[in-house]
Amino acid sequence: MGTELTANFARLDAKLVPVNSAEKLRVLHDFFRPGEEFDTDGAFSSNDVRDYIAPESLTFKRGHFCTGDRFGRALFLKDYAAYLKDRFLADLTDRGRNLVLSIDIIPVPTDEAVKEVEKRRLGIETNIANYQRKQNMANNFSAVLPYEMELQRQESKEFQDDLMNRDQRMFFANLTLVHTADSLSELENDTEGILTTGRKHTCQLAPLKWQQMDGLLTALPIGVRYLTALRTLTTESLAVLMPFWVQEIQDSGGVYFGDNAISRNLILCNKAKLQNPNAFLLGIPGSGKSFSAKELIVFLALATNDDILVCDPEREYAALIEAMGGEVIKIAAGSKDHINALDMTEGYSDGDPIAEKSEFILSLFEQLDDAGITSKQRSLLDRSLGDVYTKFKRKKRHPTLKDLRVELLAQPEPEAHELALSLELFTNGSLDVFAHQTNVDTKNRMVVYDIFGLGKQLKAMGLLVVTDAILNRVTENWRQGKRTHIFLDEFHVVFENEHSGEFFTSAWRRFRKRNAFPTAITQNVEYLLDSVLASTMLSNSEFIVMLNQAASDREKLAKLLNISPEQMSYITNADPGSGLIRYGRALVPFKNEFPGGTKLYQLMTTKPGE
């Protein structure tokens, strides 16, 4: 039965988890002894575990019961509305009181249900015939059927039609509710509030008289039912009693990511609990992407000891990171800050590190020439790179792009000289920012790689070099047992070139394996999804934040991530900072309203004039 239930609930995107012995005891302990800490060892080491769970005393009265110093009352749903909304259960359980609500459901086989309905219909028709016969005997031939009889005939016909033509099932159901309070007066006030909630939904909840113990036992999650106040319902009617009204994300050790748009509860995400920590942050310009990323950076900096690395193509993160004591590395033509493109830490690759670095250099040369490079040039680059690393290994220092150019010039093939000529601008020319030994502090806990000064044409190349530098830092942290968070803004740029896209896809896999949590930020979702590599990365990412989306982007995201039209409404004309979070298998709408006028807000906002 457990396997069948798990499979059926999975179709509703709901996950069932078996409760172990300690958790079962904790549920009962928290009800009978609220406010007391539950100790698993203490429970199982006692002479009788029931002594650890049970209250000091338990007394049952006519309309309530006493458990220790607290008062409680059991109620049941006496009369159902003709039409019940799914907010009914949500309103009952949102009262913020110690409360247990139990729904007992007994399915009736369809053949038995049809026979029962036919029997009831026959009884109703007999009553109608008897009524008409009496009226005829009284010479009242124009008598109209009483409204009550007409209603019974209509309801029985609809019920039979549901069972036979609309594939509905018949169930017996019972809803039992137990709530407790510190005093009798508080209990009476809470009861009146619960009864009012029932009346608001045209339902009648009633306290049990002289059956408080039976109601308590029925409500507690121990699998027994002592009450016989059952109501006949169809599948459609019973569906509104489904308790899963809203999806919540509240992981232990999680980081705040806004309020649930439905329940207004905090959303606390801990990506370490997901199958993979890869994340995407998507939204049109002005939807709050950068602000959300900065807010996450602040919370990570304050709540963890993890390292934070940011690739910043638009110079949006420098002020915030500097204010928190981080390092900003400005990479631009003529800048004094340099990163060696050929830096390579120990463990750079799972296999051959030279081969991995060769793949990076090939992607780099693809950015230098729009026509790309030939197969001969690829072979020459691979040979020259291996030779230069072999030479400089003896010198105990890393080679640079200048050393690679010298090695290319030393090759006899003319194609090697063409490659050296292509590289000259970036080694001896004005764009030699990646051709020197690294001279900046890359060991700071928070580092921003500011590539705004590279310009649009060189942005893709800069992203390649910076990502390779980040990969070196991630590998070093991994060997030291540290976690690294990586933020890559304007991520769609790298997939405008096939080879840079392949390099980033490879790096994305290695980030995951080395305890690094990458977050890609992009506004051009359509460009991203046009790339097979990028769409694969997106569909394989367990954490996706979707802010306001353009119409074409919404359609593609809905198809890729299997999002319903109702859920897509949360990212249609959404306010800045509001949208939809895909967290594992859960899809949760959220709102994130950050208070203005604060120092943090001034550091994070990108609105003109602020």
Compute CA 439 distance to the chain's CA centroid, rounded to the nearest angstrom: 40
pLDDT tier at 423 (50, 70, 90 boundaries)? confident
Residue owning tokens 């009450």: 227
Statement to judge: residues 394 and 475 lie in one domain: no
**C-alpha distance from residue 127 to each of 141, 149, 161 (Å):** 17, 8, 21
pLDDT tier at 281 (50, 70, 90 boundaries)? very high
pLDDT, tens digit (0-9, with 9 covering 90-100), for 522-546: 887 777 777 788 888 888 889 999 9
β pairing state of 516-522 and 279-282 = parallel
pLDDT tier at 41 (50, 70, 90 boundaries)? confident
In a domain, 602, yes or no: no
- What DSSP line would sit under 114-157, residue for residue? HHHHHHHHHHHHHHHHHHHHHHHHTT-TTPPPPHHHHHHHHHHH
Statement to judge: residues 356 and 320 lie in one domain: no
Q: Inform me whether the pLDDT recorded for 394 exceeds 70.
A: no
In a domain, 455, yes or no: yes
Statement to judge: residues 364 and 296 lie in one domain: no
Query: What proportion of the chain, given as a percentage, has pLDDT over 70?
Result: 94
Containing structural domain, residue 512: 250-332+446-591
Statement to judge: residues 274 and 293 lie in one domain: yes
β pairing state of 307-312 and 266-269 = unpaired
In a domain, 515, yes or no: yes
Instruction: At 353, list the tokens.
Output: 């590190």
Statement to judge: residues 234 and 263 lie in one domain: no
- Predicted local distance difference test score (pLDDT) of residue 350: 59
pLDDT tier at 245 (50, 70, 90 boundaries)? low
User: Residues, the chain, total?
Assistant: 610
pLDDT, tens digit (0-9, with 9 covering 90-100), for 155-179: 888 888 888 888 788 888 889 999 9
Q: What is the mean predicted confidence (pLDDT) over 602-610?
A: 84
pLDDT, tens digit (0-9, with 9 covering 90-100), for 28-40: 888 888 888 888 8
In a domain, 289, yes or no: yes
Q: Inform me whether the pLDDT recorded for 357 exceeds 80.
A: no
Measured distance CA(6)–CA(169) in Å, rounded: 20
In a domain, 5, yes or no: no
Which of 313, 423, 311, 416 lies closest to 367, judged by CA? 423
CA torsion angle 85 87 89 90 (round to 10): 170
- Predicted local distance difference test score (pLDDT) of residue 194: 92
Residue type, 16: L
Q: Which of 432, 466, 495 is the last residue of a domain?
A: 432
In a domain, 510, yes or no: yes
Q: What is the pTM of this model?
A: 0.71
Q: What is the CATH number of the domain that holds 391?
A: 1.10.8
pLDDT, tens digit (0-9, with 9 covering 90-100), for 581-591: 999 888 899 99
Statement to judge: residues 584 and 494 lie in one domain: yes
- Predicted local distance difference test score (pLDDT) of residue 195: 92
Residue owning tokens 């405008």: 496
Q: Where is average pLDDT lowest: 258-262, 390-394, 561-565?
A: 390-394
**DSSP, res 140:** -
Measured distance CA(257)–CA(442) in Å, rounded: 28
Statement to judge: residues 427 and 495 lie in one domain: no
Cβ partners under 8 Å of residue 351, min gap 6? none
Q: Inform me whether the pLDDT recorded for 369 exceeds 70.
A: no
Q: Where is average pLDDT lowest: 167-171, 197-201, 224-228, 456-460?
A: 456-460
Statement to judge: residues 474 and 328 lie in one domain: yes
Q: Which of 386, 408, 432 is the last residue of a domain?
A: 432
- Predicted local distance difference test score (pLDDT) of residue 454: 75
Q: Of residues 341 and 500, which shows the higher confidence score?
A: 341
Statement to judge: residues 139 and 286 lie in one domain: no
In a domain, 356, yes or no: yes
Host H or E run for residue 569: none
Q: Where is average pLDDT lowest: 219-233, 320-334, 458-472?
A: 458-472
Statement to judge: residues 461 and 566 lie in one domain: yes
Report which listed range, 340-344, 501-505, 512-516, is most confident.
512-516
pLDDT, tens digit (0-9, with 9 covering 90-100), for 49-78: 888 888 888 999 999 999 888 999 999 988
Please count the other Cβ atoms lying within 10 Å of the Cβ belonging to residue 106: 11
In a domain, 159, yes or no: yes
Residue type, 396: K
As beta bridge partners, residue 175 has 103
Measured distance CA(340)–CA(436) in Å, rounded: 5
Q: How many domains does the chain have?
A: 4
Q: Inform me whether the pLDDT recorded for 484 exceeds 90.
A: yes
Measured distance CA(584)–CA(254) in Å, rounded: 14
Q: Which of 204, 219, 239 is the last residue of a domain?
A: 239
Statement to judge: residues 302 and 259 lie in one domain: yes
Q: Are 459 and 490 in contact (CB under 8 A)?
A: yes
Statement to judge: residues 451 and 587 lie in one domain: yes
- Predicted local distance difference test score (pLDDT) of residue 279: 92
Q: Of residues 594 and 368, which shows the higher confidence score?
A: 594
pLDDT tier at 471 (50, 70, 90 boundaries)? confident
Q: What is the CATH number of the domain that holds 564?
A: 3.40.50.300
Instruction: At 150, list the tokens.
Output: 């007409």
Please count the other Cβ atoms lying within 10 Å of the Cβ belonging to residue 609: 4
Mean pLDDT score across all residues of the chain: 84
